[in-house]
């Protein structure tokens, strides 16, 4: 049987680590034992396990390609590569099941979409709850470490917000204005990508979820609680909204 494979790491620092290699090796071993062939790998770099499936470019692409003459099954290393939040995990699995697709956990040798056996469902949900607990515990430890460094007068903050980088505030303001004029997040992301504007990740590729995050953060930071939409017909003027990229 032909299958797809889905890989995910949460942080930028993990992209060049062994996370992807470890997941690939585990999935390969599992599929070889099953006699399955992985025809395509979908990698999700620096995407949190609490992110909804709609805001994951690789996962969204994979699901859009599945079915018909393409595989209807995909494999992950383990359940927490799908999500590290129980609610997100269950919603994602429900979406996969609704499309009549199947997702397997290589580590647990478990069909995560099989709801016919209550014991399997219990195991899956326990795995999701444990993944959420592990993430929360890690966040708590990191916060405590930052507090200790801050108390000792040591630098402990992360990189500057995108809007505080050179030219970043202008881009954020432009994203906000484009959205207010009726442009969709996908249109904004496509325009920024086409014009090679640097994204918060430091690349020249923008995803609609990034444009959405910029819009929401700008609105919150400058106290725009209930932004008003302008005439959607102005969306075609998207090319006239942004200044020449300066980042």
Residue 14 belongs to a domain with what CATH number?
A: 3.40.50.1390
pLDDT for position 224: 57
Q: Judge if 117 and 188 occupy the same domain.
A: no
d(CA 24, CA 18): 10
Q: Judge if 114 and 195 occupy the same domain.
A: no
Residue numbers of the domain that contains 85: 2-128
Q: Judge if 120 and 172 occupy the same domain.
A: no
Could you list the mean pLDDT of each consecutive 10-residue stretch along the chain, which spans 247 residues? 92 71 94 96 83 81 92 92 79 88 89 75 65 67 74 70 81 88 90 89 84 82 51 41 42
Q: Judge if 84 and 197 occupy the same domain.
A: no
pLDDT for position 76: 95
Is residue 7 in a domain?
yes
Is residue 151 in a domain?
no
- pTM of the full predicted structure? 0.51
pLDDT for position 131: 63
Q: Judge if 92 and 17 occupy the same domain.
A: yes
Count up the domains in the chain and report the number: 2
Q: Indicate the pairing of strand 110-111 with strand 102-105.
A: antiparallel
Give the residue from 71, 103, 128 where a domain finishes.
Answer: 128
Give the residue from 128, 148, 171 where a domain finishes.
Answer: 128
Q: Judge if 105 and 38 occupy the same domain.
A: yes
Q: Whose CA is closest to 51, among 135, 127, 122, 123?
A: 135
Contacts of 58 (CB under 8 A, 6+ apart): 6, 8, 42, 43, 44, 47
pLDDT for position 234: 37
Q: Judge if 15 and 116 occupy the same domain.
A: yes
Q: Judge if 172 and 112 occupy the same domain.
A: no
pLDDT for position 244: 44
Share of the chain residues as helix, strand and coil, in percent rounded to the nearest 5 = 55, 10, 35
pLDDT for position 13: 59
Residue 79 phi, psi (nearest 5): -60, -30
Q: Judge if 118 and 211 occupy the same domain.
A: no
Q: Judge if 23 and 109 occupy the same domain.
A: yes
């Amino acid at each position: 049987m032909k299958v797809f494979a889905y890989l995910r790491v949460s942080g930028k620092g993990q992209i060049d680590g062994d996370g992807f290699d470890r997941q690939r090796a585990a999935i390969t071993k599992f599929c070889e034992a099953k006699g399955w062939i992985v025809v395509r790998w979908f990698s999700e770099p620096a995407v949190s396990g609490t992110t909804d499936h709609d805001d994951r470019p690789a996962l969204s692409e994979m699901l859009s390609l599945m079915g018909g003459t393409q595989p209807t099954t995909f494999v992950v290393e383990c359940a927490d590569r799908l999500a590290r939040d129980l609610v997100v995990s269950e919603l994602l699995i429900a979406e996969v099941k609704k499309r009549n697709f199947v997702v397997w956990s290589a580590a647990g040798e478990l069909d995560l979409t099989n709801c016919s056996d209550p014991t399997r469902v219990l195991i899956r949900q326990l795995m999701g709850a444990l993944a959420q607990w592990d993430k929360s515990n890690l966040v708590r430890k990191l916060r405590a470490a930052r507090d200790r460094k801050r108390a000792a007068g040591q630098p402990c903050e992360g990189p500057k917000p995108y809007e505080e980088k050179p030219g970043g505030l202008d881009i954020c303001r432009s994203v906000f204005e484009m959205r207010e004029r009726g442009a969709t997040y996908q249109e904004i992301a496509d325009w920024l990508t086409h014009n090679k504007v640097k994204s918060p990740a430091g690349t020249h590729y923008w995803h609609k979820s990034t444009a959405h995050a910029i819009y929401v953060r700008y609105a919150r930071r400058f106290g725009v609680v209930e932004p008003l939409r302008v005439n959607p017909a102005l969306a075609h003027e998207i090319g006239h909204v942004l200044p020449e990229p300066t980042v």
